[in-house]
Structure 1
Amino acid sequence: MTEIAKNPVAHLDVLIDKIDQAINAAADPQAAKLGSVLFTGLRQAAQGRSYILVSIGTARLAILLEDVVEVGDLPMLTRLPNVPSWLRGIVNVRGEIVSVVDLPRFLEWHVDSTVQRKRMVIIQQRSVKTALSIDAVLGMHRRTEQTEMISGSPPLLGQDGSLLPSALILDGQPYYLLNCQALFTSKRFVDVRHL
């Protein structure tokens, strides 16, 4: 195994130092400032990804920050006829119509269906957006090498574990990572989008 493969972050630091030296040698202060800002972002990205932590009933989820468009109160919901029970309806978010998914029902969790979740997190893959109804935003977390991870879906989950393939362990509590790409490409989700 090469030294780069063993420690890609250390290799990135060496590369950034070389680029910084080249920018400084160019004697362009504006380029040096821009380079510094860009490479600080690269260094942070190499250290870990950021997640929004949310609760839905007793479940705790972590959603990759780059998949999140917005978090807020759920606007007035318009129900739709002849759609699966996991599609709560649609909402108008600043002139854009967004579908609202009840994730526990989509995942076939056995949860209290009388609870009306009043918050949402809007997620996006490519040009497709959907809102997930949630109970609360619990915070944010930047994953580091010290963040404990487990693989496997929560015991609540039915047959398909691809949407929640692993979890971060934070303060002894599992936060299952939502695979937004798997959600948006799942057959049930795609079939409803084409109704």
Structure 2
Amino acid sequence: MTERQYVICKINEEEYGIGIEYVKEIGEYQNPTRLPDAPNFVEGIINVRGVITPLIVLRKKFNKQNKELGKSCRIIIIYFKGKQLGLIVDDASQVLRINEEDVMPPPHVVEGMEKQYVSGIATLKERMIILLDLKGILSMSKDNTQTQSA
């Protein structure tokens, strides 16, 4: 029985899991410097310990209802395939161990780009956690072109 640890974050009331091996830190929201002509889900850039870090608003990337960003949001700093990025979420405050046997593949009704964002669905008693595929999130924009930050 293989288990992995995931940082659990929320967008609206939905829970998402990011493999802990990619998470460097979780911090409070800070106002970014805007980039000209960036995709709408790239909020801008911040300086994290001397590293210029692009910020991706997962709410926008997932086409969820937009909400004003502020102090209640969190930034999850990840390091993936040699790049450091920040993911803006509503909340991130828990780490869970999830057994591989509790993870199911994404349902077939998930079509197109959204399927690339999901690596699986974890079912834990009465909770369902959408496990994120960072490669899909960071490599594709809404129009199937490479993002400037990935």
Same fold (TM over 0.5): yes
Counterpart of 2:146, as a letter, is V
How far is 1:180 from its partner? Answer: 1.1
Higher strand fraction: Structure 1 or Structure 2?
2
**CA distance 1:114–1:135, shift in 2 (3 Å):** closer
Higher helix fraction: Structure 1 or Structure 2?
1
TM-score relative to the length of structure 2: 0.81
TM-score relative to the length of structure 1: 0.64
Match of 1:86 among 32, 36, 41: 41
Contact 1:123/1:180 (<8 A) preserved:
no
Seq. identity, %: 22
Could you say what secondary structure the match of 1:193 adopts?
Answer: coil
How far is 1:75 from its partner? Answer: 2.5
**CA distance 1:66–1:189, shift in 2 (3 Å):** farther
How far is 1:179 from its partner? Answer: 0.8
- In structure 1, the residue matched to 2:149 is 193
Give the RMSD, CA atoms, in angstroms.
2.6
1:169 is the counterpart of 2:123:
yes
Counterpart of 2:88, as a letter, is S
Report the number of matched residues. Answer: 145
Q: Which runs of 5+ in 1 are unaligned?
A: 1-8, 10-46
* Structure with bigger RCO (C-alpha 8 Å, 6+ apart): 2
Contact 2:39/2:147 (<8 A) preserved:
no
Counterpart of 2:55, as a letter, is V
